[in-house]
Structure formats: C-alpha cells, structure tokens
Amino acid sequence: MDSRVSARMLAMTLGGWRTREPAYEALADGIRLLCLDNRLAPRTALPAERELAGALRVSRSTVAAAYRSLRETGHIASMRGSGSVTLPLGRRDPGRTFTADGMIDLQQASPPAWPGLAGIMAETAAAASGLVARVGYDVLGRIELREAIARRYTDRGVPTHPDEVLVTTGAQSAIHLVSSVLIARGDRVLVETPTYPHAADALRRAGARLVGVPVTTDEGWDVDRAEQAFARTLPVMAYLMPDFHNPTGHSMSAAERSAMLAAGERSGSVLVLDETTADLDIDRGPREPAFIAAEPGTVVRIGSLGKTVWGGLRLGWVRADGELIRRLVAARPAHDLGTPEFEQAIATSLLARFDDIVQQRSQLLRAGRDALVEALRASVPSWAVPEVHGGVSLWIELGVPLSSALVMQARTRGLLLTAGPRFSVEGGHDRHLRVPFTAPPEELIVAAGVLEEAWAAVRAGAPPSTFEAVEAVI
C-alpha cells in the first residue's frame, strides 16, 4: 500500500460533493473523479467508514453505500480488517489516456501536430547516420539546439548565451529538475491558483509547501495577496505562468509584472516562469517577455515545443544563469541521462521555422476559440464564458459548485474533461470548468451540445439548496 488519505483531507479534497441525490452516489462519484484525476493515486488507503462519515457529517450508512458502489465499479477494493484501497484505472475506464471511438477528449489541452512536422521528421531520419555517430548521452543538450534557443531569447530581448540553456525531455521534466534543485522539504513555494496541476504535483513531490495566490479571468492576479504572501512566507521559489496562464488564459499586465518581480526580489525568491504557452497568441499582439528587468539569478524560464508543435515531441528547456545550469546538470543524472538526439535534431530544424509555426498555431486556436465561445454562449447562456486572447482553454464560471458533477455527467455522454478542483492549490474551484479549444471547431461545437445536455441533467439532480443562494442574488 503506497499511501493513506485522512478523513479530514479527503473531505477537504472532495469539496462540494453533495450535488445530487441519493447522497451515497454523489459521494461515490466524487471519489471516482478524484481517482480519474489522479488526485487519489492507486493503492491509496481510504478512511474507515465511521471516520469519513464524521468528517463529512453524514451517516455511516451513506459512506458504506458509497464504498459499495465504488467496489462494484472497480474503483476500490475492500478487505475485512484491512479497510478500502483505491485501484489502478481499468482498461475500459474513461480516465485512462486512450479513449474509445466516438469519445471527445478535452482533458489534455494539446493541439494536433503542426502539419509540417512529419516532413521535418523524415528529413531528420534521412540524416540518421550522423546522429548515431554521437555518444547519445548528453545531459546539457546538443550545442546546435542550445544556440538556436539562445538566439531566440536574445532576439526577443533576453540576451542569452548557449551555456545558459539546458535541454530537457519536455517542460514537465524541466519543472521536476528545477524543483529538485531549488526546493528542500518544507520550503514554501508561491503558486497561482488555479494552476497547471502537474506542476503543482511536481512541487509537492519535491517537498514544497504551496502558498496560493488567486488568478481570475476578469481581474487577473491578486497582486495585494501576492505581495503579502511574498513578504510573510519568504518563499524560496515562485512558479508563475505570466502569459496565457493555464487554465484562465489571462496574461499579466505591465503593472502586475512589475509588482510581482519587485515582491519576488524583495523576498529573495527565484521566479520560475512557465512560458510553454507564451507563444500561443491569437489576437493580443506582440509583447516583450515577462520580467526582462530582473536581477541576474532571479528568473528561470521554462519552455517547450509541446503546445506549439506537438505534445508527442518531448522536448523542453531551462533558461537560467550559468551557475544554476551547472547545478541542474550535476543533479540531472538522478532523473535521466539526457534528451534523445533525434528529438533534438528535429527541434533544431523546427526553431528555424518557428515564426511560421506560431502563425499557423494562432489561426488554428482562433478557429477553435471562436467556435467554442459562440456555441457555449448559445447553449448555456447562464455560464460566464470569458474572452481570452490566446492560450489553450476557457476557464468558465458555472455560478454554482457543480464542476465535478458536470464532468462525471459529461463522461457518461462521451465527453472527457477535467473538473475545476484539479487546478486548485488549496481546494475549491468547483464553480469553474476548464474547456480547451485545441480540438477542431466541429468537435468543439459537438462538445458544447454535450455540455448543455449534461448541465440540464446535473441541475435536475442537484438539491434545490444548491441554486437558492444564486437565485437570491439574481
């Protein structure tokens, strides 16, 4: 058994689970969603029925019925005297990474491959004899690629030497590596909430204690809260996504950038900027990179080709001062022994065409965004569908805490999404739903229709009290 979740923690993570009747099925669905989102890892021991009933303030029979429902669907196993434990997702479970025919998967927020990628791969394969002549173990990255990345930073206003670039196997690998070097167990790390959930997972795995700073689609970053958090907790690191933030799609204003940088420098924090979505501009227009006025050593930049070229091209990088790059190189062998030569050669060719790639991406994302916004506003007019100028998704305000229930209902209709709480740092966000617009427009229009049906079903099954406060305000 790998881990155990306390009744208090499970109750907190479940949030507003009681969204329909009978209560035991609503509770079972809440736990299923935690398993599907990997917020409850496989082989996690669940609380005893009596303990969870006390934490949730429900009868023990409600928890017993929920556990029975979870056993019947294969999400948990129970043994007399040993309690209940979550199980790995089954092959037919919609939470797995592959989907059945007819399913629409909007969990990953990853656009299809850039159309010219196959040609670049073919050209690179034709020159494979030169690649295999190399040693193949290079924890820093091939010089041709590091020069291309450094040149792109320099052209954008961030003077960079190739020795200030480390090539990694994707942005997630870069986040893990940087976290392992900068963070000691118990260190505080400032993080936006909502945030990219896999980054939060990596920070927690490194031992970080996360301090959340709110970001909203309308108001952006809560700068006052951020300044207070920097001053009060003195975080060793802040993980930020200043351009086309995932999931809200918001970008920092010049004032927000200036305030966040000043607060970070006063507290001595390293600002780790996730720039994987920074190039996904639709109609905002050119803007200089964030925090270019930072003192040396204050800012670390993480980039990748996953969102701009293809999620299957596992290549990313870290741009930092030379001293930190040397520390990352020393620590890297504990994670992996380098980025594959073939992917690096492909990436070098792609960066020579990067402006054309970004322009194509902008057109694709604009078509998806416009189709999705129009369809959702027509299908579910009660939702607050935001205006975004780039990025990969809409962060929709539902008005009531029913995101988890809606995601489960949509799954039964063939639409896979991720509920708002998955993006939370300190709990909550069940009033929000992330809907990516990276799929083809016709698929997104179908998804909007599915959400309209699912929302009607969720509303019909929810207790009247769920909507009473909202209707009172209206």
Q: Are 312 and 282 in contact (CB under 8 A)?
A: no
Q: What's the number of CA atoms in the CB half-sphere (13 Å) around residue 36? A: 23
Summarize the confidence of residues 379-392 as an average pLDDT: 97
Average pLDDT, rounded, for the chain: 92
Two tokens at 303?
A: 């980039």
- Whether residues 330 and 349 share a domain: the answer is yes
Residue 63 has pLDDT above 90, yes or no: yes
Residue 262 has pLDDT above 70, yes or no: yes
For residue range 150-181, list pLDDT tens digits in order: 999 999 999 999 999 999 999 999 999 999 99
- Whether residues 139 and 272 share a domain: the answer is yes
Residue 237 has pLDDT above 70, yes or no: yes
User: 231-235, 287-291, 466-470: which range is least confident on average?
Assistant: 466-470
- Whether residues 276 and 316 share a domain: the answer is yes
Q: What integer pLDDT is reported at residue 101 of this predicted model?
A: 61
Domain limits for position 331: 117-353
Q: What integer pLDDT is reported at residue 92 of this predicted model?
A: 44
Residue 470 has pLDDT above 60, yes or no: no
- Whether residues 324 and 428 share a domain: the answer is no
User: Residue 176: CB partners within 8 Å, gap ≥ 6?
Assistant: 202, 205, 206, 335
- Whether residues 192 and 317 share a domain: the answer is yes
- Whether residues 317 and 442 share a domain: the answer is no
d(CA 358, CA 116): 12
- Whether residues 147 and 181 share a domain: the answer is yes
Q: What integer pLDDT is reported at residue 357 of this predicted model?
A: 97
Asked whether the whole model's pTM tops 0.85, one would answer yes
Q: What integer pLDDT is reported at residue 82 of this predicted model?
A: 75
- Among 322, 353, 384, the domain-final residue is 353
Residue 427 inside a domain? The answer is: yes
**For the chain, percent of residues with pLDDT exceeding 90:** 80
- Whether residues 375 and 344 share a domain: the answer is no
Residue 96 inside a domain? The answer is: no
Q: What is the CATH classification number for the domain harbouring 78?
A: 1.10.10.10
